[in-house]
Chain A
Amino acid sequence: MDLVWELLIILLKIVVVVLLFAFPIGSLMTLLGDRKQSSLIQNRIGPNRARLPGINHPLVGIPHFLADGLKMIFKEDIIPRQANRFWHTLAPAISLFPAIALWAVIPFSDHYCTGTATMVDYRDVCVDGAFYNLFSISNLEAGLLYVFAISAVSVYGAAIAGWASNSKFSLLGGLRSSAQMISYEVTMGLSLAGILIIYGTLNLNEMVVVQGQLLWDWLPMWGIVVQPLAFFLFLAAMMAETKRAPFDVPEGESEIVAGYFTEFSSMKFAVIQLSEYVATVFVGSLVSTVFLGGWQVPWLYGDGFYFGNTDEPSIPLPYWLVIVLRVGSFSIKTLFILWLQFMLRWTLPRFRYDQIMTLGWKILLPLSLANLVITAFVVLVLL
């Protein structure tokens, strides 16, 4: 019976995380991030004409987004005659799979404490009970390695989509995206090596717990505080990894049309597009987990706010409110990073392809290596 409950809870978590968080935010970003945000930056209004039946209000353009989805469903699904039907059909699924699977290890809040939660030395402790994993799909010990592994798989989607389409545009797009993703994966891993040394764990939830500790009793030990350089390196590498602007050369209207998904139409196109946006949301959540303290609210622990390492909380709060605050904090941080990514997209001109390679191999990689060496040295001296 316990096993059934366990399975049900896991299923519920998957449904909530994927269908109620990752997908809606990811697909809404196609509208709010790409169209509304850009329009405001460029002194325009953006889509505001479509109406839901009975509601005479633009609703920040959400009816447009629904109409787009509906349109995608009814579009003709075209497979080019010479294309490889099998792989052409499979490619969208292959690119969507890693984008969803990545969410398995993201902690939305701390493990649920069945007893009374309190704080000892800036760590949550569970008195008369045990921690129960409710807020991440899987509490994987090798969480970060899993993230690296799965995001490395996502290159297959782009490469196969490009290759199976039998189009020069698609092939070039696929080549570009695979070369770019492989180049930036190195930096992505190495820039996090420094933070792994400091936190001493690969488990993402444990990482967030460690970030709850305070430096000099007041500064939360968030990743961005202890590893500022790594934050920028990782953000850049992750944006390149998800092919966001300014690293969006795998698609270029003037050169290779839509890149590796030129030959996709209808829902296949939508799925590829959606997987990119979901991956973008994931970047937001991963960056906030590793560098911005994840679900941590500064100075908030199991039973309230602590200002100083005291026995009693300075502002006591009920446990459910703590959980709400933590999930909210995580969501806001994720949305902030997401907002920043779109802001960067509408701020920076895209790199030329050789500039991307130069940046990746000659600048980011040496910097992340230097960051790793210096971090290792400092940790060795201090601890």
Chain B
Amino acid sequence: MSTHNVTVVERPRRNLWVQSYLPEVAKGLAITSRQFFKNLLTGSDIQTVQYPEVKRDYPLRYRGLHRLTYRDDGQVRCVACMCCSTICPANCIHITAAEHEDTSIEKYPAEFVIDELRCIVCGLCVEACPCDAIRMDSGIHAHPFYERDKAFLNKDYLLDLGGPSTAVQGGVLGSRSAR
């Protein structure tokens, strides 16, 4: 026979003290009125953030609007490899690739449009990007749009939000083997 590890918890018995209700009411009143006076006099426990005037900082990993990072010389970092638009489950990234004059770069996005109405803010594009070109760390809410066209964020807009990438351009030599 197997032994069962059972703990029998006895039902709390209601004695006259509890049943008479008044002491328990007094206890409850003590808790609520302590909180009442504490908040009335000091307001120390109040959790409310007065939103439009006071804003809370977003956590570091908050996924806001996309941004495109740029190279050291200010060109867009994206090489139009289509990884992000392929992995995007909402099909919201539209890239038109074009050939770059600089042969070491080969391709660049002539158009890079993100449809913020379709974006589900999953962050897979950021994961997929091989060269740290697209990021979602701008910390900006996807705000409401009055016109549908305004929700299509184009390359210029995304680059304006962007900054230089911290990654070394072209990768660090031998970094794979070092790891």
Contacts and interface: CB of A to CB of B under 8 A. Distances in A.
B partners with A:
yes
Interface of A: 37, 40-45, 232, 340, 343-344, 346-348
Interface in B13-56: 22, 25, 28-29, 31-33, 35-36, 39-40, 45-48, 50
A43 B36 contact: no
B40 A44 contact: no
A347 B48 contact: no
B48 to A, nearest CB: 5
B32 A41 contact: yes
Contacts of B47: 43-44
Name the interface size band of chain B: 10 to 19
A41 B36 contact: yes
Nearest to B30: A347
Contact of B40 (A40, A42, A346, A347): A40
A263 B58 CA distance: 45
A37 B48 CA distance: 15
A347 B46 contact: no
A343 B30 CA distance: 10
Among A45, A344, A347, A348, chain B packs the most CB atoms within 10 A around the CB of A347
Contacts of B25: 344, 347-348
Contact of B28 (A37, A40, A340, A347): A347
Given A347-B29, A347-B32, A348-B28, 4 more contacts: A37-B36, A41-B32, A344-B25, A348-B25
Contacts of B40: 40
Contact of B39 (A40, A340, A344): A40
B36 A44 contact: no
A40 B22 contact: no
Nearest to A246: B25
B46 A343 contact: no
Contact of B45 (A43, A340, A344, A347): A43
B28 A45 contact: no
A45 B35 contact: no
Contacts of B33: 343
B48 A44 contact: yes
Contacts, number: 39
By Cβ-Cβ distance, the 10 closest A-B pairs, closest first, are: A40-B39, A347-B28, A347-B32, A45-B48, A43-B45, A41-B32, A41-B36, A40-B36, A41-B35, A43-B47
Interface of B: 22, 25, 28-29, 31-33, 35-36, 39-40, 45-48, 50
B46 A346 contact: no
A248 to B, nearest CB: 16
Nearest to B34: A41
Contact of B46 (A43, A344, A348): A43
B35 A343 contact: no
A43 B44 CA distance: 9
A44 B46 contact: yes
Nearest to B28: A347
Contact of B35 (A43, A232, A344, A348): A43
A45 B51 CA distance: 12
A343 B36 contact: yes
A370 to B, nearest CB: 14
Nearest to A44: B48
A195 B160 CA distance: 81
Nearest to A36: B40
A40 B36 CA distance: 5
Contacts of B29: 340, 343-344, 347
A41 B47 CA distance: 12
Contacts of B39: 40-41, 43
27 contacts: A37-B36, A40-B35, A40-B39, A40-B40, A41-B35, A41-B36, A41-B39, A42-B35, A43-B39, A43-B47, A43-B48, A44-B47, A45-B46, A45-B50, A232-B22, A340-B29, A343-B29, A343-B32, A343-B36, A344-B25, A344-B29, A346-B32, A347-B25, A347-B28, A347-B31, A347-B32, A348-B25
* Residue among B32, B40, B47 with the highest chain A CB neighbour number at 10 A: B32
A43 B33 CA distance: 12
A45 B40 CA distance: 10
Contacts of B45: 43
Nearest to A232: B22
Contacts of A43: 35, 39, 45-48
A300 to B, nearest CB: 28
Contacts of A346: 32
A41 B39 CA distance: 7
A326 B48 CA distance: 40
